[in-house]
């Protein structure tokens, strides 16, 4: 059944069987976790922790990640295990205890869900004003499923892409997957997006995101992309897809029944005189090492699409310079362009994964100086704040004060971009909000200019 709603109104979010791509990649969730072949070999306390934590955070993994990416002999430290399986440290000790007690007592599903909601609401489910500040108003209505923060780039969240092939434990979009009431961002009707684009001639590129738009069947994805290829929208010169499919399910481009149809879609975009950019989230170099992952990259590049890579730096997963150096080296070898190193946003389980900014900048530097110029297309560490993407360019001393040198890579106001500014050095700061302007200034330059 199709539910039609007036523009801008939320509709109940229901997947039909036909829409859901589940059957294709054998997903495991908390419900069938015991069917993972390696499950019974995990120590009992780890299995218990996973059950407790996955009642709060979304959990999903698939056969490929389990069989080919995780090294089960080094669990629990294995980085891909940390990346995809909920960990005890992701909950505050008190919350863990409360939730663990409910599981011990075999409390009802309803009781567990209520407690999970209580915990989730404490975890800043929508950082950086995502559901309010960036949603454009069009024809007097908020345009659901669209974010427009930076002048040239419009983000589109198709309703059928509100999932991923596996879920990253540090994901900042976790509330979309657990369905915290009123917190899904998801667009249903492409024609609203097209009207919006026609009315905004400054927009040069559209970024399909989610979740992961490449969980969609090719046919459905094509139906969303093709209206934008209309000659009247010629100034949209790039279509981007934010995706982790080449890492979590490279079969998407190699052996899925519609793998070739996805590639044909990329070719059609290129043939329309535009470029295709796959903004791929590669977290660890292991994701690039399997033969099928390399084949996926080869086939995607064969269509003329450019693959750019971005990922956050996260404790327990990739917080050493060696991992980043290898990640960038392997990317350059495969023809992937390193693009961003991000800082994890202040949401969800960030306490467990957070890396102090002072350390993030050392990791970046150390890796950056060991790679040649072809890998130095990468920028970061970058924080996606409410004001824009702020890069930590370095740490230095000015007039006797130790400071972070900061710079907007993207700004809510384009005139801020590139202008250096300074924050007082704080070795424990792990997010922009922890910082204060340097030199005793009450505000940063963009705060007094904005008023």
Ligand X SMILES: *Cc1c(COP(=O)(O)O)cnc(C)c1O
Residues that bind ligand SF4 (CB under 6 A): 164, 167-168, 171, 173, 211-212, 244, 281
Residue closest to ligand X, measured at CB: 149
Backbone angles phi, psi at 288, to 5 degrees: -105, 0
CA–CA dist 402, 317 (Å, integer): 29
Q: Which does 155 bind (CB under 5 to 8 A by kind): ligand X, ligand SF4, none?
A: ligand X
User: Is residue 290 at the binding interface for ligand X, with CB under 6 A as the rule?
Assistant: no
| CA separation, residue 222 to residues 49, 148, 208, 229, 239 (Å) | 41, 22, 12, 10, 12
Least Å distance, CB 389 to ligand SF4, is 17
CA–CA dist 22, 12 (Å, integer): 20
| CA separation, residue 54 to residues 1, 32, 49, 96, 109 (Å) | 31, 12, 8, 11, 13
DSSP H helical segments within 14-64, as ranges?
Answer: 44-53, 63-64
User: Of 118-126, 142-150, 358-366, 411-419, which part binds ligand X (CB under 6 A)?
Assistant: 142-150
254 cis-preceded (ω within 30 degrees of 0) = no
User: Of 89-97, 144-152, 183-191, 247-255, which part binds ligand X (CB under 6 A)?
Assistant: 144-152
Q: Which does 410 bind (CB under 5 to 8 A by kind): ligand X, ligand SF4, none?
A: ligand X
Which tokens sit at 110?
């309803």
Least Å distance, CB 384 to ligand X, is 5
What residues numbered 154-173 form the site for ligand X, per CB under 6 A? 155
* Choice from 283, 384, 385, 430 touching ligand X (CB under 6 A): 384
- Cβ proximity to ligand SF4: between 242 and 338 the closer is 242
CB of 66 closer than 8 Å to CB of 28: yes
User: Of 72-80, 145-153, 189-197, 351-359, which part binds ligand X (CB under 6 A)?
Assistant: 145-153
Q: How many residues bind ligand X (CB under 6 A)?
A: 10
- Cβ proximity to ligand X: between 148 and 188 the closer is 148
* Choice from 149, 173, 329, 387 touching ligand X (CB under 6 A): 149
- Cβ proximity to ligand X: between 85 and 408 the closer is 408
- Cβ proximity to ligand SF4: between 70 and 197 the closer is 70
Least Å distance, CB 206 to ligand X, is 10
User: Is residue 150 at the binding interface for ligand X, with CB under 6 A as the rule?
Assistant: yes
What is the 8-class DSSP label of residue 34?
G
* Choice from 82, 331, 410, 430 touching ligand X (CB under 6 A): 410
Backbone angles phi, psi at 244, to 5 degrees: -120, 5
Q: Which does 120 bind (CB under 5 to 8 A by kind): ligand SF4, ligand X, none?
A: none
- Cβ proximity to ligand SF4: between 173 and 192 the closer is 173
| CA separation, residue 313 to residues 28, 75, 173, 347, 381 (Å) | 26, 20, 16, 15, 8
Sign (positive or negative) of CA dihedral 165, 168, 171, 175: positive
User: Is residue 238 at the binding interface for ligand X, with CB under 6 A as the rule?
Assistant: no
- Cβ proximity to ligand X: between 56 and 135 the closer is 135
Pick from 308, 221, 256, 207: which is nearest to 62 by CA?
Answer: 256
CB of 120 closer than 8 Å to CB of 178: yes
Q: Which does 258 bind (CB under 5 to 8 A by kind): ligand SF4, ligand X, none?
A: none
Three state DSSP letters for 347-406: CCCHHHHCCCHHHHHHHHHHHHCCCCHHHCCCEEEEEECCCEEEEEEEEEEECCEEEEEE
What residues numbered 386-405 form the site for ligand X, per CB under 6 A? 389
Least Å distance, CB 150 to ligand SF4, is 19
- Cβ proximity to ligand X: between 272 and 384 the closer is 384
Q: Residues in the site for ligand X, rule: CB under 6 A?
A: 134, 147, 149-150, 153, 155, 384, 389, 409-410
């Amino acid at each position: 059944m199709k539910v039609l709603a007036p523009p801008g109104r939320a509709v109940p979010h229901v997947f039909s069987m036909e829409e859901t791509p589940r059957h294709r990649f054998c997903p495991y969730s908390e419900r069938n976790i015991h069917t993972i072949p390696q499950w019974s070999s995990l120590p009992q306390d780890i299995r218990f922790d996973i059950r407790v934590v996955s009642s709060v955070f979304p959990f999903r993994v698939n056969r490929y990640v389990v069989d080919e990416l995780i090294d089960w002999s080094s669990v629990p430290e294995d980085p891909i295990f940390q990346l995809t399986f909920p960990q005890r440290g992701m909950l505050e000790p008190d919350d863990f205890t409360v939730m663990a007690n409910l599981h011990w007592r075999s409390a009802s599903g309803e009781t567990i869900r209520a407690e999970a909601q209580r915990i989730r609401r404490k975890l800043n489910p929508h950082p950086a004003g995502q559901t309010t500040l960036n949603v454009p108003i069009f024809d007097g209505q908020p345009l659901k499923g669209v974010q427009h923060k930076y002048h040239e780039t419009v983000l589109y969240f198709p309703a059928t892409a509100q999932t991923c092939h596996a879920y990253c434990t540090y994901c900042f979009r976790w509330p979309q997957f657990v369905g915290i009431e009123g917190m899904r961002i998801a667009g249903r009707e492409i024609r609203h997006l097209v009207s919006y684009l026609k009315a905004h001639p400054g927009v040069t590129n559209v970024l399909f995101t989610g979740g992961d738009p490449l969980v969609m069947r090719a046919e459905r994805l094509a139906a969303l992309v093709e209206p934008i290829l209309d000659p009247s929208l010629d100034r949209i010169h790039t279509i981007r897809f934010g995706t982790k499919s080449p890492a979590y399910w490279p079969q998407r481009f190699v052996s899925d029944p519609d793998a070739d149809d996805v590639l044909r879609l990329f070719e059609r975009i290129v043939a329309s005189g535009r470029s295709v950019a796959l903004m791929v989230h590669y977290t660890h170099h292991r994701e690039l090492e399997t033969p099928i992952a390399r084949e996926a990259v080869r086939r995607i590049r064969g269509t003329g699409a450019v693959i750019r890579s971005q990922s956050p730096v996260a404790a327990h997963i990739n917080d050493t310079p060696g991992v980043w150096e290898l990640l960038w080296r392997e990317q350059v070898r495969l023809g992937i362009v390193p693009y961003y190193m991000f800082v994890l946003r202040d949401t969800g389980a960030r306490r467990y994964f957070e890396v102090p900014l002072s350390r993030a900048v050392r990791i970046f530097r150390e890796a950056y100086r060991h790679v040649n110029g072809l890998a130095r297309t990468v920028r970061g560490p970058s924080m996606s704040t409410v004001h824009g993407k702020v890069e930590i360019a370095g740490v230095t001393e000015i007039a006797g004060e130790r400071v972070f040198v900061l710079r907007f890579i993207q700004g809510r106001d384009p005139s801020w971009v590139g202008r250096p500014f300074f924050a007082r050095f704080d070795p424990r700061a792990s997010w922009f909000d922890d910082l204060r302007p340097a030199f005793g200034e009450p505000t940063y330059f963009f705060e007094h200019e904005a008023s």
